[in-house]
Each structure stands twice: as C-alpha cells, then as structure tokens.
Structure 1
Amino acid sequence: MSGSLHQRCAVLYLLLLTFFTATLTAQNTSAASTFYLPKTETQFSFNLANDSNDVFVYLTSPAYSWVGVGFGHGMKNALMLVVYANAKGDNITASPRIATGHSEPTFSPDVKLDMLPGTGVSDGMFVLKALCRSCRVWPNGFLDADSTAQPMLYAFGPAKNLNSDRPDAPLKRHYNYGTFSMNMREATGKGGVPAPSSQSSGVSSESPLVRDRDSKSLAHAIMGCLAIFVLWPINIILAGFLRNIKIHIGFSTFIMVCLIMSYALGIATSGQYNRSKAFTSPHQIFAFLAILPMTLISVLPMKRIASLKSWIPRLHAPLTSLTLTLLILTGGLGLHLSSSSTPIILTYLAVSILVFSFIALIQLCVRRRGSAYARASTRRRLGDEDEQDYGLAEYWARRKLEGSRSQSQASSNVTWEEEQQRRRPKSQESQSRGVFGGGTMPGPHYMMNMHPGVPVTFK
C-alpha cells in the first residue's frame, strides 16, 4: 500500500513539474510572426514589444552576397534590413536601408539597429539577432501594429560574397526576390528575440520566389562590346581596303547608332545604383570624355569643314585611335563599377589587347601603302586609269593586241622599203621634201654609194 502511494506521489510530482515548466516557458517565449522559406531555409521573425516602440528581429539565411528583408508594398519607400559578411568573413554587417524606388536602397543612419549576442556566421548561414529602436516609423513609411496583413518583401543577392564592414557598402542587383504579408497583432507581446523555427506563423499571403533579370545592364554591355570589339575592326578594314567610301560611312553610322544605344542604356542603368546615381564614377567620366572625339570624327569629314584647312582631314586617324582607347578604358572601368568577377575582367583585358593590336597593325599597313580610296582619288586627279575600270581596260587592250596581230598578218607581203616608208614619221617627210634625188633615202642598192640620195646604176 505504501509502495503504491509512493508511485502516485511521484507521478503527481512529475505532472506538476511539467506544468510549471511549460508555464515558465510560455511566459518566457516572446510573441512573434515568422516567415519561413523552405527552399533556402530562410527564416525571418520579428516581435513588437507592447511596452515600447522597439522591434526585435531574428533572421537566418544562407550566406549569399547579401540578404534583405523589408517593410513595404514595394521597394519604393521601404525600410529594409540588409545583411552581408564583414571584411574578415567571421561575422556579419547589418545595414538598415531605405529605398527611394526600384533601385539600390540607401543606408539610413537614423535607424538604430543594436546587434545582440548570438549574431554571426554559423555553418554557412547568416544569423541576425537584433533590436531595432527606430523601425516603426521612417521617412515616407510606417509599420502598422494593428494590421493583420502588413506587406513585406525580401531579396537575395548573387552567390559572390560581399565582405565589407561598411554599412553603406555597394550592393549588386538582387538575384531572387519575393513578397509576403504578416499579422502584426500576432507579433505584438512581450518584447524579446523570437526563437528559431522551421514553420511559418502569422503569414497571411506569400508570392513565389522570382528570378530577377537585369536586362538593361546586359544590353548595355553587349551593345558596347559589339561596337568596340566586332564592328570597329571591320570598319577599319573597310576604310583601308575598299575604294567605295560610302560603305565606310554607312558602317560608321551603324557603329555610332550602337554606341548611342549603349550610352542610353547605361544612363538608364546608372539610376539603379548608389555608386552611379551622381554620374561621377571613373567609368562615366571616361564615357563622357569619349563623346568629344566621336563627335569630331563625325563632323570633320564633311566637305565644307574638311576644305577649310589642309590639316583637318589628317585628324581623322588620330581621333579614331583616341576614341577607341577611351571606349576600351570605359568598358574596363564599367566592369570594375559593376563588381564583376576577376575572370571576366581578365578576359576583357585579353580581348582588348588582341583587338587593339590587330587594329594598330591594320592602320600601320594602310598608312604605309595608303588607303584604297586615297589611291583611287589620286589616280583620278592625275588622270590615270581607275581600278574600277581595270577590267574594261584589260578587255580593250586584248582587242587592240588581236587587231595588231591581224594587221601584221595582212601586211606580211609588203616589201621592206614600203614598210619603212609607211613607218617613217611625217616630220622626216616634210624635211626631205626639196632635197636633190627626190628626197629618197638610200635603199639596199645604194649601200656602196658615198653620196646618199644620188642614184647609181650597177651593171
């Protein structure tokens, strides 16, 4: 009987201990709304403290170049918390930013974000535990604590690590992005960092993960490289080895159109990034400098301008080389501005050296022998036969040769004296008139005569 009583007391003690432990755990657990993305094992949870304006944040995600979560319908006027690896790669940098449009968000020093213990990089995952003291209201936006469907957004940068201690470090365009909405009432309660979870709670709607495509930047790079590395060398060959200058002019116009399109796309892309919005980067400065020689190349060959001074046409070749050099430097600086990888930059450098050397060799050959158009113009000015009519001239030369051969065959029976008489110049005939002996030159029968022109009879 006593043994049974002891067993009952032990069971009751365990039940009471379990009850009090669960009660304490429930009291210590903060209210939170959680968004969980199974595809990337990304969790974003936050808690609204009911006794203050503080917002507690918990974020864990794979270590892409950067990961961002924001409050807002879209990027415009949205407050975003962006996380990326620090310079050493052993911790994270958390940067509160505000976006002014569909562009890179700008660091906001007015938003105070305190990093809490447990923040860092663990097993290739970013872990952020933070207290945001100014996250409920920001310029042109606020967090509605009574909303049951607060619009939210998130984005992932490319796989390349950023590694920076700067809160305003430049970001590459996001690789994927998505949206969802959360219940703010469910997230309101006792203040504290939410616990890790692999289940969504308080999420009322969610859009699928979208793959982003930066078509403008890609088209900007393709148009520029096409004009510099493909069309430009072809145009140099056309200018040096074709007599028809109109082909060179038409091809140059096409190159100019490609460059104008590349410039327009580059200007449209510049507004998407903080590092290029002010148009003060070396890439943009060199691009604007290249406009001057390009304009001179287009204007100076005009007849009215080229005829003003004799040295104006000679500026075309050096201006072409200067423009090409500036455009190649502009492209290389553009790769640096866009944070391109080292293999892409080295490939661009190798192609640039190859194309520049090829063009320099072609220009050297043309300079030594002269362009086909210049040689044709010189021949026309001197009245020489033009290469365009070379085939026709060769045809008439053959006809003339055939005619001379037929005449030689027809006159094969003419005597030697008659042939000499026929070939004698008219000037000699006029001089021989009035000379004694009838003006006849000594023939073969008078070779022994000491007085040429006097007939002698041999018996």
Structure 2
Amino acid sequence: MFSRWARALVVALFATSVYAQQKKSPPASTFFYDKTETQFSLSLASDSSDVYIHFASPAYSWVGVGFGEGMRDSLMLVMYLNADGDNVTVSPRYGHSHAEPELAPDIKLELLNGTGIQDEMFVLNALCKNCRVWPGGFLDATSTTQPMIFAFGPGTRLQLNHLDAPLRRHVRYGQFTMDLVAATSSEAGVPEPGNQLKGVDLKSIVKDHDRKNLAHAIMGCIALFVFWPINVVFAAFFRNIKIHVGMSFAILLFLVISFALGIATSPQYNRSKSYTSPHQILAFIALLPILLMSLLPIPKIKTLKPWIPRLHTHLANAVFLLLVLAGGLGLRLSSQANPIILAYVAVTLLVAVFSTFIILCVSRRGSAYARATTRRRLGEEDDRDYGLAKWGVRKKLSRSSEGSWEGESVGVGAQKGYGAQHGHERSASAGSDWKGVVGGGTMPGPQYLMNMHPGVPVYVK
C-alpha cells in the first residue's frame, strides 16, 4: 500500500517538474511601447545560430522591426495581413538608405504556434536560423546595446500574400538598444508575452511625414483642376491674350514643380525607382505635347503653315487627358484608399465636362481674341475703336444738327471732298492726320457699301 502511494507521489513530482520546466520563460530581452502595446522580444541560443522571436503589434497596414542603427544595411521583419485577412504575412527585408526596404530572399523564418491575428493584433512567433549575419551587419551576442529600429505604416489596409508587397511610407519610427547578453542562453526559446521593458533602452520615436509625395500630388491637382478650367475661360472670353499666356505659364510652372517632386520621390519606393510604372510612363509622354505647345507661339513656327496655330487646342486636350490618367494611376501606385481615388475621378469628370462645354460654346464663333484679331486684320471696326483714334482722329467728333461731323481742330484741309463742295469747311491744322480719309459729309461714304454705316470716314489704302 505504501509503495503504491510512493509511486504516485514520484509520478506527481515528476509531472510537476516537467510542467514547471515547460512554463519557465526562456531568457530574453523585451522592447515594449505602451502607447500601441507593441512588443518585440529576442532569445538567442548560445550553442547554435538560432534566434527566437516574439513580435506583437496593432494591425496597421504594416509594422516592422529591424536589426541595425538605421535603415541603411539593416535586416527588417515586416508584418501585414495576408490576402484572406485571417493571418499575417511576414516579409524579411534588407534596408537601403531612406527608402522602402527590399525583400531578403535568403532569410528563412519558421513560423511557430501562436502566429496570426489575436484580438486585432499581429502576432509573430518564429525561429530564424540565419538571422545572425546579413550583408552589411550582424547580431552581436556579446553586446549589451545592440542597435534596433521599429516603424509603423499608415492606418490603411494592406492584404497580400506576396513577400515583396509595396509599402507606404511609415507614419512613426524609432530606435532602441537591446541587451543580447541577457537574451543569450542554452535554454533559448520563444519569449513570453510581456508589457515591461527588459534589457532595452528606448532612444527615440519620430512622427514622420511624406511631404514630397503630398506636394507632388497637390501641385499637379492645382494645375489640372483649378488653373486649367480658369485658363479655358480666359482663352474663350478674354480678348487680352496676355491673361491666357500668364495663366498658361502658371500651369506650366506648377506642372514642372510637380514633375520635379515626383522624380525626387520615386527612388524611395521599389515600385517606382526604375521609372517603368504606367503612371511615370504617361507623365513622361505628356511632356511631348507640352513642349510642342510651348513652341507653337514662336512667330517663325506658327507662320509656317496656316493649320499650325489650330494645333494648340488639340495639344492642350491631349495634355489634359494624359495628365489626368497619369494622376489616377499615381494614386493607385501610391496605394491610396478607394474613396480618394473615387473623389479624384469625380473631380476629373467635372472639370472635363466644364472645359468641353466652354470649348463647344466658342467653337463656331471662335474665341474673343481670335474674333478681335480677325476684325483688325480685315480692317473692320472693333468695339474698342469707336472714334477711330487708331486712324488719326485726334479729338472726339460729334454729329451736328445738319447731319455733318463737327469737331474742334479736326479736318482734312488739304483734301477737298464731297463735303467741302457743300460748304462744310475743315481746318488745315490736322490735314496731315486725315490724309487718305474720304467721306464724312451728309451723304454716305464708301463704307456704306460694306457695312451699312453711312457717313463714317473710311481709311483708304
């Protein structure tokens, strides 16, 4: 009887000992950021190159942690939702300067139990057998201040199974150091969840902004959706061509700035650094009609053929179409949310319909500037030219009660026309100014035959 109880006691003690060993937390160093409840812990095996990782963070579009002082020459682990949204995709990447990190295909992670989505948190339990050394850096197991970095992506949704999924720029990033001496032992294993800093010194947390990319989009939208329709109105209804030219220059200036900012931003992302995306290709194609529009006003070019000036409208329409298509593709390239893309499409349609309506309204009559230019070329009167000041009249004329034109110090003394034969004398003080002008009496002058304006002096070439 006694032996039976003794055997039971031994079994119970053995089971308790095994359970205690199983529950014993392996040595680890832990980073914990209380504002987001982000935890990153490392446990290193002293008798192998194994590195055990526990990483938990809120489900932003992506979250990442890296081994190194900065993005340059660092090894990063980036997490985001898989395509089904029920698990995580873990992407090991190499950092290169201040740009989107590239996939590290030689880094292999073994995902362990507990990895997935828990209470809207990304959770990673993993074993990495080749994370100690990478191009440009290594984990120093003898260091008590191993430099580390972390970052959070924006609050948009990213769901992909691809390990090289495009990442938007981080909204926050920081640095900390980790005691790897305390995290190294022969009993290494997956660290336990915790909410306390352990062997870690938090250095900095920075709120980030993607100002260049934002300015690139804003400058382009102002040029296309604000200045462009205003310029269409100026070109259609204003006879002063200088206003249209000035607004066109403003549009060109904003587009040049937008292009420059886009070129400066492109190297920061893997999907745009080679300049082969549809967004970039269409933007570069749009430079050709923009260049041709800039050359058309040159006198030696626009007078080569009669149809050359008419190319301006067609080139302008081509530029607008190419740039709005490039802008829409740019929103998709930068992983913008669908509501922003839909708003862009709505504004594009509104501006296109408005501009088309204005162009159709003036297509038959021509623009105000074109009509004024045609009248001056044909020698017809313009609304601004009553009084015929352009043709030599120095003082305002008035119609007398007898129907003749009277004016102080105005006349054609050297010219004896029809009016002089009927006693309407003119002083000779302005004779030189009236040379070549006929008509002006009570009877209609020659212009009557052209535009039914009786009694109007006509300049005879």
- Please classify the TM superposition score into its range, dividing by the shorter chain length: 0.7 to 0.9
Do 1:156 and 1:177's aligned partners in 2 also have CA atoms closer than 8 Å? yes
Task: Find the residue that maps to 1:207 and give its secondary structure.
Answer: strand
Provide Cα deviations, 1:168-207, integer angstroms capped at 9, x if missing partner. Answer: 111111121111111111111122111111111011x213
Cα distance in 2 between the residues matched to 1:360 and 1:228: 14
Say which of 141, 156, 159 aligns to 1:145: 141
Say which of 50, 54, 57 aligns to 1:58: 54
Name 1:418's counterpart in structure 2. Answer: none
Provide Cα deviations, 1:220-253, integer angstroms capped at 9, x if missing partner. Answer: 0000000000111111111122222222222211
For 1:236, give the aligned amino acid: V
Name 1:112's counterpart in structure 2. Answer: 108
Do 2:68 and 2:149's aligned partners in 1 also have CA atoms closer than 8 Å? yes
Name 2:457's counterpart in structure 1. Answer: none
Provide Cα deviations, 1:317-373, integer angstroms capped at 9, x if missing partner. Answer: 101101100011011111111111111111111110010011111111222111122
Task: Find the residue that maps to 1:184 and give its secondary structure.
Answer: coil
C-alpha RMSD over aligned residues: 2.8
Say which of 395, 399, 402 aligns to 1:401: 399
Paired positions, count = 397
Cα distance in 1 between the residues matched to 2:121 and 2:401: 94
Do 1:32 and 1:188's aligned partners in 2 also have CA atoms closer than 8 Å? yes
Compared CA separation, residues 405 and 106, structure 1 to 2 (3 A): same
Q: Answer with 1 or 2: which has the greater Rg.
A: 1
Name 1:439's counterpart in structure 2. Answer: none
Cα distance in 2 between the residues matched to 1:230 and 1:390: 37
Name 2:163's counterpart in structure 1. Answer: 167
Name 2:284's counterpart in structure 1. Answer: 288
Name 1:382's counterpart in structure 2. Answer: 378
TM-score (norm 1): 0.81
Do 1:97 and 1:105's aligned partners in 2 also have CA atoms closer than 8 Å? yes
Name 1:217's counterpart in structure 2. Answer: 213
Cα distance in 2 between the residues matched to 1:186 and 1:47: 9
For 2:139, give the aligned amino acid: L
Name 1:442's counterpart in structure 2. Answer: none
Task: Find the residue that maps to 1:210 and give its secondary structure.
Answer: strand
Do 1:61 and 1:67's aligned partners in 2 also have CA atoms closer than 8 Å? yes
Do 2:397 and 2:405's aligned partners in 1 also have CA atoms closer than 8 Å? no
Name 1:136's counterpart in structure 2. Answer: 132
Q: Which region of structure 1 is more displaced relative to structure 2, 310-319 or 221-230?
A: 310-319
Task: Find the residue that maps to 2:56 and give its secondary structure.
Answer: strand
Question: Is residue 222 of structure 2 the alignment partner of residue 226 of structure 1?
Answer: yes
Name 2:26's counterpart in structure 1. Answer: 30
For 1:358, give the aligned amino acid: F
Name 2:196's counterpart in structure 1. Answer: 199
Question: Is residue 120 of structure 2 the alignment partner of residue 124 of structure 1?
Answer: yes
Say which of 306, 310, 315 aligns to 2:306: 310
1:77, distance to aligned residue in structure 2 (A): 1.2
Do 2:40 and 2:54's aligned partners in 1 also have CA atoms closer than 8 Å? yes
1:304, distance to aligned residue in structure 2 (A): 0.8
Cα distance in 1 between the residues matched to 2:229 and 2:387: 30
Cα distance in 1 between the residues matched to 2:175 and 2:79: 18
Provide Cα deviations, 1:365-387, integer angstroms capped at 9, x if missing partner. Answer: 22211112211211111222233
For 1:105, give the aligned amino acid: P
For 1:311, give the aligned amino acid: W
TM-score (norm 2): 0.81
Runs of 4+ in 1 over 3 A off after TM superposition: 20-28, 390-393, 395-399, 402-408, 422-425
Compared CA separation, residues 284 and 407, structure 1 to 2 (3 A): closer
Question: Is residue 247 of structure 2 the alignment partner of residue 255 of structure 1?
Answer: no
Cα distance in 2 between the residues matched to 1:371 and 1:407: 35
Do 1:228 and 1:324's aligned partners in 2 also have CA atoms closer than 8 Å? yes
Do 2:177 and 2:203's aligned partners in 1 also have CA atoms closer than 8 Å? no
Cα distance in 2 between the residues matched to 1:58 and 1:312: 69
Cα distance in 2 between the residues matched to 1:219 and 1:330: 16
Task: Find the residue that maps to 2:371 and give its secondary structure.
Answer: helix
Cα distance in 2 between the residues matched to 1:162 and 1:297: 41
Say which of 257, 261, 264 aligns to 1:265: 261
Do 2:387 and 2:397's aligned partners in 1 also have CA atoms closer than 8 Å? no
Name 1:322's counterpart in structure 2. Answer: 318
Do 1:172 and 1:338's aligned partners in 2 also have CA atoms closer than 8 Å? yes
Cα distance in 2 between the residues matched to 1:166 and 1:382: 69
User: Which residues in structure 2 correspond to 1:340-359 (within 5 Å)?
Assistant: 340-359=336-355
Cα distance in 2 between the residues matched to 1:133 and 1:302: 68
Say which of 30, 36, 39 aligns to 1:40: 36
Provide Cα deviations, 1:4-42, integer angstroms capped at 9, x if missing partner. Answer: xxxxxxxxx9xx979x85995499431110001111111
- Overall identity of the aligned pairs, in %: 56
Cα distance in 1 between the residues matched to 2:78 and 2:351: 41
Compared CA separation, residues 399 and 308, structure 1 to 2 (3 A): closer
Provide Cα deviations, 1:281-336, integer angstroms capped at 9, x if missing partner. Answer: 11111101100001001012211111111221111110110110001101111111
Say which of 91, 99, 102 aligns to 1:103: 99
Do 1:301 and 1:316's aligned partners in 2 also have CA atoms closer than 8 Å? no
For 1:202, give the aligned amino acid: G
More helix as a share of residues: 1
Cα distance in 2 between the residues matched to 1:129 and 1:231: 54
Compared CA separation, residues 339 and 27, structure 1 to 2 (3 A): closer
Provide Cα deviations, 1:110-138, integer angstroms capped at 9, x if missing partner. Answer: 11111011111011011100011111111
Compared CA separation, residues 243 and 89, structure 1 to 2 (3 A): same
Cα distance in 2 between the residues matched to 1:227 and 1:27: 64
Unaligned stretches of 5+ in structure 1? 1-12, 409-421, 426-459
Cα distance in 1 between the residues matched to 2:387 and 2:109: 83
